Structure 1
Amino acid sequence: MSDASQSSAEAPPRSRRRALVPLLLIGVAAAVFASDQLVKNWVVDHLVEGHTVPVWGEFLRWHFVRNPGAAFSFATGSTWIFTILAAAVVIVILWQIRRLGSVPWGLFLGLLLGGVLGNLTDRLTREPGFPQGHVIDFISTPWMWLGFSEAIYNIADIAIVSGMILFVVISLLGLHIDGRPRERSRAEPAGEHDGTA
């Protein structure tokens, strides 16, 4: 089969994938955002702020706190800065959708977008008010000691951290955001790649 015929045969599946990957991003982001906000609303309605509820002994507990800072209560008192940064991240992700053609990239950006939107919604809508609302944190894992405080976080934080771990893997594998195959190593002879050796 000639190169032209092979390219034309591969084009439709690649085009369909490029069309579906943005839907993956939006679906993952919507699932993360919805679950994050629904659970946070349940926490506010059913848990007492500052009170600890054991779930699995000391491994997992519910501990409702209002976090004015970043993840794990870092940089408290700088809520407006994180609001601006989160809004900027959302804009950048939405701008990158037009280039998106890679499933791993779609999953990464979906996790990141859903998590950022979840915490941004708290900053815009919860007490003490726009744009300095406090983020609802409730998942406590005492064994995950960060050196300066106990780890208390939420579903949005989990999505963001999971997304960043996936981003490291994507970077190590050299995957392109548009779904292009990895570039051939310079040391690899051309014949080994295209079967003409």
Structure 2
Amino acid sequence: MTAAPPARSGTAESRPGTPRSRTVGILLGVALLSLVADLVTKQLALSSLTGRGPVSLLGGTVYLTLTRNSGAAWSIGADHTWVFPLITFGVIAWIGWMALRLRSLPWAVSLGLVLGGALGNLTDRIFRAPGHFVGHVVDMISLFDPYGQVWPVFNLADSSLVCGVVLAVLLELTGRQRDGGRAGVEPAETAEPMTTEAAHGGEPRGRA
């Protein structure tokens, strides 16, 4: 009598990694938290720092300085503000494409940080003065100098973007793939089921 073969691998339940519904949920959750934190801190900066000088924290390691930036870091592209929303839309589309095969929790966190940061600054570009899609981004954090002479003044959206990109680079360098696998590691193959005859040296067993 032939033994019943075990269930084949390769089904949705036996794939490596985390179910895509969970990873996408984590991606969106991280993005939402990053976006809300950015919007709240910008509103606090506008309400408490408008009309006053830099506020020193941690002995001058960090300064709170309210600025409005029409460009990127170091005011790069300040005369072409309209370009940045287009770039952000491209980033959002790329993250959506990546999410189609996303089964890795670290990658979900990385992409969520990038998405949240991108949406935070996009909100400024669309809704803040001087107009739609040319709005100036609210920045308020300066390191080691009150006016961004050592490092550009930034906000939490910028921090989220940088952390997400750095994490993505580390994941790539360590071979962590977006589908939950590891680069250069072959998935274990399931052994073929053995019949009763094969288990006994290939000779059929006679009846008693």
**Shorter-chain-normalised TM-score: which range?**
0.7 to 0.9
For normalisation by structure 2, the TM-score amounts to: 0.78
Kindly indicate whether residue 105 of structure 2 is the aligned counterpart of residue 103 of structure 1.
Answer: yes
> Of 46, 55, 58, which aligns to 2:57?
55
Structure with higher Rg: it is: 2
Per the alignment, residue 141 of structure 2 pairs with 139
Richer in strand (by share): 1
**Larger RCO (CA within 8 A; separation ≥ 6):** 2
Is the CA contact 2:18–2:105 (under 8 Å) kept in the aligned structure 1? no
Distance in 1 between residues matched to 2:103 and 2:141, nearest whole Å: 34
Kindly indicate whether residue 82 of structure 2 is the aligned counterpart of residue 84 of structure 1.
Answer: no
Kindly indicate whether residue 173 of structure 2 is the aligned counterpart of residue 172 of structure 1.
Answer: yes
RMSD: 3.0
Per the alignment, residue 23 of structure 1 pairs with 25
Q: Please, which runs of 5 or more residues in structure 2 have no aligned partner?
A: 192-208
Letter in 2 for 1:25: L
Per the alignment, residue 185 of structure 2 pairs with 184
Is the CA contact 1:175–1:181 (under 8 Å) kept in the aligned structure 2? yes
The 3 A distance-change label for structure 1 pair 150 and 9 is closer
Residue range with higher mean Cα deviation, 53-62 or 106-115: 53-62
Letter in 2 for 1:170: L
Task: Quote the offset at 1:15 in angstroms.
Answer: 7.6
Aligned residues: 186
Q: Please, which runs of 5 or more residues in structure 1 have no aligned partner?
A: none
Richer in helix (by share): 1
Is the CA contact 2:118–2:161 (under 8 Å) kept in the aligned structure 1? yes
Letter in 2 for 1:122: D
Per the alignment, residue 116 of structure 1 pairs with 118
Task: Quote the offset at 1:42 in angstroms.
Answer: 1.2
For normalisation by structure 1, the TM-score amounts to: 0.82
Query: Quick one: percent identity of the two aligned structures?
Result: 33
What secondary structure, in the 3-state scheme, does the structure 2 residue paired with 1:79 have?
coil
